[in-house]
Structure 1
Amino acid sequence: MPYASVKGVDIHYRVDGPEDVDAPWLVLSNSLGSDLSMWAPQIAPFSARYRLLRYDTRGHGHSAAPAGSYTIEQLTGDVLGLFDELGIDRAHFCGISMGGLTGVALAARYPERIDRVVLANTAAKIGSDEVWLPRAERARNEGMSALAGAVLPRWFTPGFFEREALMFAQIRDVFVHTDGEGYASNCDAIRTADLRGETHNIRARALVIGGTHDLAATPAQGQELAASIRDARYVELDASHISNLERVEEFNHTVLDFLGEQA
């Protein structure tokens, strides 16, 4: 498995798509409690047009889970480290939930590295101390299985569990095997990240995707995020929090149409 060492932290990644050096790069960033496998339904259509870089956010999947609370600066630094390792000057970026928060910070702070940005089921400020502190404590003290029953039902609308039982079983398996300390450390990063004062710095063309039934990053928050970015649009899908899995075809078409538009 390929790894990049970013300031001593091993970040696991995968690259799909054409090896043509002129093909544009597209980076996919996972949500909290998942890993790069969450993008499986996007691999074939996205990699047909782009050099596709997926990675496990630190504390997730096969990436290292260093001790101590993480910060949004570390999460963005890991992406930039991957860019440097792979010789990527600029790329499109698509992140969901925590990955979208990372995308907000990257686009606001490093405009020279980001072309277009897709911010799905996210906000410039996600949740509060009342949400993240007890969740982090429980992950550290009780493990991920103790959180699954409360967290995962919020990811999808009720009918999803019956329609996609196998997919949900795979999602749950990834969640419960996520490193508890790594998960908690990412909760700390989300809790302390407030980017509402920075979104006006984003100059990249942006697509904000919301989920009609999303309770974690509500449609109102998505609309607010889009309104705060100069060149952004808002699209809402009939989904809850993990819209790329719940509404695969709509998500794929929406993202590809946006990325393929002429400037």
Structure 2
Amino acid sequence: MQIADIGDVQLHYRVDGDPNGAPIVFANSLGTDLRLWDAVLPHLPAGLRIIRYDKRGHGLSSEPTAPYSMGALVRDTEALLDHLQVRDCVFVGLSIGGLIAQGLAVKRMDQVRALVLSNTAAKIGTPKIWQDRMAAVRKDGIEALADAAMERWFSRDFRASAEHVAWRNMMVRQPVDGYVGCCAAISGTDFYTPTSGLRLPTMGIAGSEDGSTPPDLVRETIDLIPGARFELMRRAGHLPCVEQPSEYAALLQSFLSDIGHI
């Protein structure tokens, strides 16, 4: 286990693959940790330097007092990549990770050469939705939201299997302050204007059964970036990297090949 102490937060991260390879960075969703990408990694091409991390308040990273801002989450990631001396990475962000990706790409063009915006948008939900969710968690814990979250996260077929239980367990075991803090960050974020100014290779990925960021919402954001590519994964929900890891990795490999990153 590796920890980067970047001042007000200590981030747990992991580096796999070729230490001298082309960097690819993965940022996961609300209520999950870096294990979100476990099943994808074996399907990725050799020669990549694969970097994953737990955002503040999640996994094995430290848990500053809520609320958090999106600016703080972007700064955390920026500082981690500086710590690891990462430049010109392909940044893969899912859900809140995709918001972090957009913010980082706007701020640090030297760190990010291409984006994969997975199951995300320039703006996710409304402040009222997030305020209600934060109040529910403060009152009754993350458990109160877990069943509804599983319906948004996974397709019907995947929910019928026992496999989804591990992801439910992961969600409810996240620290309350970390979960609420990141809800606040999402609530306060509207990246439509800055994202529309991005000019870098971008691929969007949506799941046909995603109840959190439906395909039309993902496509709307991808259309803000000239030349961006959009991919729809059928029979997948909000976490297609979990439900269909080999298919997800194939999309990544195709994109990496197209932009000359492998």
TM-score (norm 2): 0.95
1:30 touches 1:99 (CA, 8 Å); kept in 2? yes
Which residue is equivalent to 2:9?
9
Give deviations 1:53-74, integer Å, cap 9, x for gaps.
1000111100111003111111
Aligned pairs, how many? 259
Of 141, 147, 150, the residue aligned with 1:149 is 147
1:125 touches 1:193 (CA, 8 Å); kept in 2? yes
Which residue is equivalent to 1:40?
38
Q: 3-state SS of the aligned residue for 2:101?
A: helix
Of 230, 233, 236, the residue aligned with 1:234 is 230
Aligned-pair Cα RMSD in Å: 1.4
2:13 touches 2:52 (CA, 8 Å); kept in 1? yes
Paired residues for 1:100-249 under 5 Å: 100-163=98-161, 165-166=162-163, 168-238=164-234, 239-249=236-246
Moved over 4 A (4+): none
Between the aligned partners of 1:88 and 1:159, the Cα distance in structure 2 is 39
TM-score (norm 1): 0.94
Alignment partner of 1:255 is 2:252: yes
Q: 3-state SS of the aligned residue for 2:205?
A: strand
1:139 touches 1:181 (CA, 8 Å); kept in 2? no
How far is the alpha carbon of 1:28 from its aligned partner?
A: 0.5
1:116 touches 1:259 (CA, 8 Å); kept in 2? no
Higher alpha-carbon deviation: 46-55 or 25-34: 46-55
Percent of pairs identical after alignment? Answer: 34
Q: Which amino acid aligns with 1:208?
A: G
Which residue is equivalent to 1:72?
70
How far is the alpha carbon of 1:213 from its aligned partner?
A: 1.7
Give deviations 1:140-183, integer Å, cap 9, x for gaps.
222111211121221011111224x13x1221111110001110
Structure 2 segments unaligned to the other structure (5+ residues): none
Structure 1 segments unaligned to the other structure (5+ residues): none
Between the aligned partners of 1:46 and 1:16, the Cα distance in structure 2 is 11
How far is the alpha carbon of 1:113 from its aligned partner?
A: 1.3
